[in-house]
Amino acid sequence: MQLDSLRALDLSERQVRIYHALLRLGPASIRDVAAEAGINRGTTYETLKELATRGIVSYFPRGKRRVFQAEDPERLLQLGESKQQALSQAIETLRRDVIPALKSEQPAFSPGNVRFYEGDDGVELVLRDLLESTEQRPDPSYAVISTKTLREHLYRPFPNFTRQRVKRGIKVRVIAVGEGGDEAELAERKWLPAAEGTDASYIAIYPPKLAIISLAQNNYPVVIVIDSAAIASTQQLMFDTLWSLL
């Protein structure tokens, strides 16, 4: 029987073993539970007390001794639902109050606003951030300048990126440097002529962020993300101007 999911209820492996042993035994003494679980009596007693405080185990007197019994397994489901509800409330509080308050204490710009990533993992992280951040905007859209030489490497770590973008209703305008580039839903594309040997680069503008991806030796991706409303808005202005001229 797979009981690993009980660990998500903040139950230790020892607590799970003892609860399971007690459930199999029915009402039992500490000695019997310890023997069934293969854990010494002192540890078993302390663990039973811990489980009792969480309402998973109960006890009653029988003569001068305590007899313990496992609560119905449905109690575990109730614990999970309570934890889920508490987590949902905590997330809502984070989103509504805590995160805005913490963000208000950040300096307008610091070295921490510039992040560097490498490899396919770095590219995937930034592409996912691009979707998540853009989806939260009133107008879910972003702009891209991309060279032909980088396009074939871009979605290697995230092959269903375009499908995810369309599913979320996110629009994109692309200035393609050089020939090529596939047409896609919710995407507009214009082309900028370029020489065959143009260096590989990809610039995504999704205010207040700007992501730059390039290829180092052996087509190894290098990523820079700048979190700055001022820089992103300036790049957006330059993009819009160039877009209107093409």
The CATH classification of domain 112-245, taken from the options 3.30.870.10, 2.120.10.10, 3.30.1310.10, 3.40.309.10: 3.30.870.10
Neighbours of 79 (CB within 10 A): 18
Q: Where does the pLDDT of residue 165 fall: very low under 50, low under 70, confident under 90, or very high at 90 and above?
A: very high
Q: State how far the Cα of 71 lies from the Cα of 52, in Å rounded to an integer.
A: 9
Would you say residue 112 has pLDDT above 60?
no
Indicate the class that CATH gives domain 1-105.
mainly alpha
CB 162 within 8 A of CB 171: no
pLDDT band at 13 (very low <50, low <70, confident <90, very high): confident
pLDDT digits (tens, 9 = 90+) for 59-96: 888 887 888 898 888 888 888 888 888 888 888 888 88
What is the number of helices (H) and of strands (E) in the chain? 9, 9
Q: In the structure, what pLDDT confidence band is assigned to residue 150 with cuts at 50, 70 and 90?
A: confident
pLDDT digits (tens, 9 = 90+) for 43-62: 988 988 888 888 889 888 88
Residue 235 has pLDDT above 70, yes or no: yes
How far apart are the C-alpha atoms of 100 and 122, rounded to whole Å?
A: 26
Can you list the alpha helix ranges (DSSP code H) found in 54-140? 74-93, 99-104, 119-135
8 Å CB contact between 207 and 221: no
- Give pLDDT, residue 206: 95
Length of the chain: 246
Question: Residue 180: what pLDDT?
Answer: 67
Half-sphere exposure of 86 (CA within 13 A, CB side): 7
Answer positive or negative: Cα dihedral of 50, 52, 56, 58: positive
Domain edges within the chain: 1-105, 112-245
Give 6's DSSP letter: G
pLDDT of residue 232: 93
Q: Is the pLDDT of residue 243 over 90?
A: yes
Cα separation, 18 vs 154, whole angstroms: 51
